[in-house]
A and B are shown apart, each in its own frame.
Chain A
Amino acid sequence: MVQLDTLIAKFKQKDERAFKTLYDMYSESMHGVIFNIVRNNDIAEELMQDVFIKAWHKSDSYDAKKGRFFTWILNIARNTAIDKTRSKSFKNSAKNLDAQFFVDIIPTHESLDKKTDAIGISKFVGNLPQKCKEVIELLYFKGYTQKEAAEKMEIPIGTIKTRNRNCINNLRQIVLE
């Protein structure tokens, strides 16, 4: 994956074209994560801008040895969105989001045709066991650590790892093959 490395190196040198390419690769994913946390179109759009502007200014701080670029920007997105949900203005208008999972929003999209595999994914999540929905929600959409997820789900820490692996294996069969 020399190409991605080069792209990231250029991005760290504030190359706007590299930034745009990375944006194209990851923005929808981040939009999904952010929207799942705030559940509001306008706020999600505003936060998307914040996240990528932050990424631009903090590009120096990315270190490949500490994790994937995707994971880096995912962390920025999750933290920005979670910070927003803790803000006073957000709380005043907040609905109760605790019980809702990412799976609730996928099939309701008006634009399921935007990607061919979106239908596959909505089928996949529809058929997901509750345990998978929960573990994917916590680890990828909410940024829980393995330990935090184990405590939240009240299962042993080792179980998180194997359960998540099985869930992601199913997902990969649907989206990548």
Chain B
Amino acid sequence: MDIKSYIDSGILELYVAGSLSEKENGEVYALMQQYPEVTKEVMDIEASIIKLTASAAPKDIKNVIYEAIQDKLDSSNDDGQSKVIPINKQKNNWFAYTGWAASIILGGTLIWMSNQNNALESQVNTAEIDKEFLEIQIENINSDLADTKKILNVFRDKDIITVPLAGQAVYPEAYAKAYWNKQDKTVFFDLQGLPEPPEGKVYQVWSLALNPLTPTSLGTIDDFKTDANKIFSLENTNESQAFGITLEPTGGSESPTLEQLYTLGAIDAS
């Protein structure tokens, strides 16, 4: 640091005047500790300002004024020691203690209330999550109920043709039922009695004409595992004489793999 140009900048004159910021004051103070020439400069400036300002004093009565100051200081001390200050002190202390106590209680209360508030908020959150969960359940149940009613209506419909499908060689215990509504060309398959298809396989439903044997695919059952009641509706525009269900690779096949024929049922012509 170039101390000479620092001194020449005029900052020390402002320092003595009290015109600098607190930060600048700190900087000057630090440099004074480090460089004796800065301290000397500050003291010279100060001395000259003291003389200049003193010359503006009206007359030399500083001793008279000092006596007045001393009287006031003494009297405030005397009064204080005899009675006023002890009372004041007690009062001050009492106020101080009360103040501290009040603020501690207030502080404690605030913390407690904040904790209570947090606890309540978290309870409200939990309750809301529970509520949402219940609403979803109700919705699911309502939707299941609607499905069930729809199925029930299907079964009660007088136009419906019921076709039992019996288990075949590959899985004799299997069974299924078809409910065919010729009017609106839909057929419902109840596949409750079929085993879950292995990975990579799906059931494919066929409409069959018997003479000659002509299979027509009605589609594959892709959501067998996830469907709860195992009743599936498919469109059927054919003049079907029988329905068959085979196990096919995912995506279905062009024609049925007869070795994997699970169930088969002919439609009662009458």
Residues in B neighbouring A58, C-beta threshold 8 A: none
A109 at the A/B interface (Cβ < 8 Å)? Answer: yes
Q: Mark B114-144, 1 if CB is under 8 A from A, else 0.
A: 0000000000000000000000000000000
Among B55-99, those with CB < 8 Å from A are 55-62, 65-66, 68-70, 72-73
Residues in A neighbouring B57, C-beta threshold 8 A: 28-29, 31-32, 35
Q: Which chain A residue shows the least CB distance to B61?
A: A45
Dominant secondary structure of chain B at its interface with chain A:
helix
Interface size class of B (residues with CB under 8 A): 35 or more
Q: Which chain B residue shows the least CB distance to A167?
A: B13
Query: How far, in angstroms, from A137 to B13 measured CA to CA in the complex?
Result: 13
Q: Of B43-51, B100-108, B170-178, which stretch is located at the interface?
A: B43-51
Known: A35-B57, A105-B56. A121 touches B13 (CB 8 A): no
Query: How far, in angstroms, from A172 to B51 measured CA to CA in the complex?
Result: 10
B112 at the A/B interface (Cβ < 8 Å)? Answer: no
Q: Of A82-90, A91-99, A157-165, which stretch is located at the interface?
A: A157-165
Known: A36-B56, A121-B52, A161-B11. A23 touches B19 (CB 8 A): no
Which 3 A-B pairs give the minimum distances between C-beta atoms?
A165-B10, A32-B56, A161-B10
Footprint of B on A, CB under 8 Å?
1, 16, 20, 23-33, 35-36, 41, 44-45, 48-49, 52-53, 56, 64-68, 70-71, 74-75, 102, 105-106, 109-111, 114-115, 117-118, 121-122, 125, 136, 139-141, 143-146, 149, 160-165, 168, 171-172, 175-176
Using A32-B53, A68-B16 as known contacts, list a sample of 15 further A-B pairs with CB atoms less than 8 Å apart, ordered by residue number in A.
Answer: A23-B69, A44-B58, A49-B65, A65-B26, A66-B29, A70-B49, A70-B50, A71-B17, A105-B56, A106-B55, A110-B59, A117-B51, A160-B14, A165-B9, A172-B48
